[in-house]
Structure 1
Amino acid sequence: MINTKEYIESGVLEDYLSGNVSEQERREVECLSKIYPEIKAELEQLSEAVERYAFAHSVSPPASLKEKIMAQLEFKEEEVQEEVSTEDETPVLPLNSRNNSFQWGWVAAASVAALIGSVVYFNAKVDTLSQTVAKQQTELQQQTQQLQQQTELVAGLSSVDNQFVTLKGVEKSPSSAVRVVWNAKTQEVQLNVLSLPTPASDKQYQLWALVGGKPVDLGVFDVTGSLQKMKAIPQADAFAVTLERKGGNPVPTLSELYVMGKVTS
């Protein structure tokens, strides 16, 4: 929300009408005049005042300009009279009556050009605003979905069937820790990173379930403070995390084992 009174008194509207503004300021004036009626009204009043001033101080074209134009068109009064039928009662305007029409023609042309330019800029601004609104709506939808997912994950923590398994750091990274929430009844697995080193851009951590001594892939995850839903598993004796190439590996790299924890019966 802007202070429209201060904005109007800043002089930017006068600069806009005189063309003495940057491209960003021009777009700002056009946008705000669509949003705030008081700015639009002030802009219209200033525009009318400028137009009245232009008409009041208009300069008549030099007489020589008329002669040059007429010479190029090869107009002669005798030819004009010969081309007019004697039965036509439409009055023929004398050439000196064209002065005012000539001046008004220039003004009309300039007004039309200005109107076309305003329409083009307005349409461009509308397109930009539409794209911005669409982008914001998409981002809002994504944030809403993420919030809903987090809400569902947190709500699932209250189940009495949940088992909380803390994976502690091994020799490679003693200070690391990860917590796994596993529900054997629903087979759902959730993971929360408590402490893990930030991996290189081409690396990613991967969660494994140990079933009968064999590793089962439960998916890769990022180092964030939020709960992350992993692949489901119906049975597990332990869980472990290794650092693998981005996207994960079909088998764990044991030399890159960071944390491990057993499931209590």
Structure 2
Amino acid sequence: MNEKIHKFLNSGLLENYLIGATTAKETELVETYISKFPEVENAYNQLQHNLEIVSKYHAVEAPSSVLDKILHTIDNDTPVIQLQPELETKQKPWFKYYSIAASVVAILFACASFIFFSQNVELKKENQIVVEEIFDLRSDIEMNNKKLDNVMAQFKQLNNPETQKYIIKGNNRAKNLKTVAYINPKDKTSMIDVVSLPDLPQEQCYQIWAELNGKMVNLGILDETDRQLKSIPYTENALGLNITIEPKGGNTNASLENSVAEIELNSRE
């Protein structure tokens, strides 16, 4: 790999391009490198794969929708009194017509007042609901931002060249067992991806251990019903990882006679 390609891969442009954080000029540059250099294309494909591993375990439920309507449609069919004056208008005094008109105006005013009063009450209720929806929405946004920060941190850890990947497969007692451990001895971080675990009786569980100086250090219980890329305690100078079948709730000491998977770790620091 020549110095030009190496410098480009360390610039961070490829990661920013993957998450849509590049300018138009940077996007053009990245796409040129991807199409021109196989090394860059392979690195880009690996980045996509790592991002898929992280993101598939973080489902983000959509927040509840804000109200579709704040105001309901107001019925415009206001009742109107139709007047049928007699033909002999000359015989009726004009003040009666003014009285009738005043009555009509009064009725219309009463109807309008009632409508506006009802509308005001309804609007206050709608406003209160909108305020509650806004608070819920803010809470959802804060929660989603925290999840996104966690996803990006895991993505960076997976993409870190110091991170070592270990595929742990089950033995004859648990042939369908498969987990993947990601360990970074430089940053002293560990993550595990539970891919599949064979079913166990309700009174049993899977537990993962780190082998250290002839002792087994508890790293936690593995549960396929809670599948996600999650952090586990980092054990410095660990020689290997071991998965055993233990009583429900876990055990303080590893039952090595019930071991279903184990793997040696690199000693590289």
TM-score between the two structures when normalised by the length of structure 2: 0.53
SS of 1:173's equivalent in the other structure is coil
Q: Which moved more, 1:176-185 or 1:134-143?
A: 134-143
Which residue does the alignment assign to 1:31?
70
Which residue does the alignment assign to 1:241?
243
The CA distance in 2 between the partners of 1:159 and 1:111, in whole Å, is 69
Note the C-alpha offset of 1:170.
2.7
Which residue does the alignment assign to 1:173?
174
The CA distance in 2 between the partners of 1:256 and 1:139, in whole Å, is 43
> Could you tell me which amino acid in structure 2 is paired with residue 55 of structure 1?
V
Q: Note closer, same or farther for the CA distance 1:160–1:102 as it changes in structure 2 (3 Å cut).
A: closer
Q: Which runs of 5+ in 2 are unaligned?
A: 1-66, 84-97
Note the C-alpha offset of 1:169.
0.4
Q: Which moved more, 1:242-251 or 1:225-234?
A: 242-251
Q: Which runs of 5+ in 1 are unaligned?
A: 1-26, 34-42, 59-96
> Could you tell me which amino acid in structure 2 is paired with residue 235 of structure 1?
N
Q: Note closer, same or farther for the CA distance 1:55–1:203 as it changes in structure 2 (3 Å cut).
A: farther
Whether 1:261 aligns to 2:267 is no
SS of 1:122's equivalent in the other structure is helix
Q: Note closer, same or farther for the CA distance 1:32–1:117 as it changes in structure 2 (3 Å cut).
A: closer
Whether 1:114 aligns to 2:139 is no
Which residue does the alignment assign to 2:155?
154
Which residue does the alignment assign to 2:81?
56
The equivalences for 1:174-193 within 5 A come to 174-193=175-194
**Larger helix fraction of residues:** 1
Which residue does the alignment assign to 1:88?
none
The CA distance in 2 between the partners of 1:165 and 1:201, in whole Å, is 28
> Could you tell me which amino acid in structure 2 is paired with residue 171 of structure 1?
N
Which residue does the alignment assign to 1:194?
195
The CA distance in 2 between the partners of 1:116 and 1:159, in whole Å, is 64
Q: Which moved more, 1:114-123 or 1:176-185?
A: 114-123
**Number of residues paired by the alignment?**
190
Which residue does the alignment assign to 2:165?
164
> Could you tell me which amino acid in structure 2 is paired with residue 234 of structure 1?
E
The CA distance in 1 between the partners of 2:243 and 2:235, in whole Å, is 15
Which residue does the alignment assign to 2:211?
210
> Could you tell me which amino acid in structure 1 is paired with residue 241 of structure 2?
F
CA contact (8 A) 1:240 1:260 kept: yes
CA contact (8 A) 1:178 1:259 kept: no
The CA distance in 2 between the partners of 1:201 and 1:130, in whole Å, is 46
Q: Note closer, same or farther for the CA distance 1:202–1:98 as it changes in structure 2 (3 Å cut).
A: farther
- RMSD over aligned CA atoms reads 4.2
The CA distance in 2 between the partners of 1:126 and 1:256, in whole Å, is 61
The CA distance in 1 between the partners of 2:248 and 2:116, in whole Å, is 56
The CA distance in 1 between the partners of 2:248 and 2:138, in whole Å, is 31
SS of 1:189's equivalent in the other structure is strand
Whether 1:129 aligns to 2:154 is no
Note the C-alpha offset of 1:236.
0.9
The equivalences for 1:1-12 within 5 A come to none
Choose 1 or 2 for highest CA Rg.
1
Which residue does the alignment assign to 1:61?
none
CA contact (8 A) 1:221 1:228 kept: no
CA contact (8 A) 2:209 2:243 kept: yes
CA contact (8 A) 2:71 2:123 kept: no
CA contact (8 A) 2:188 2:236 kept: yes
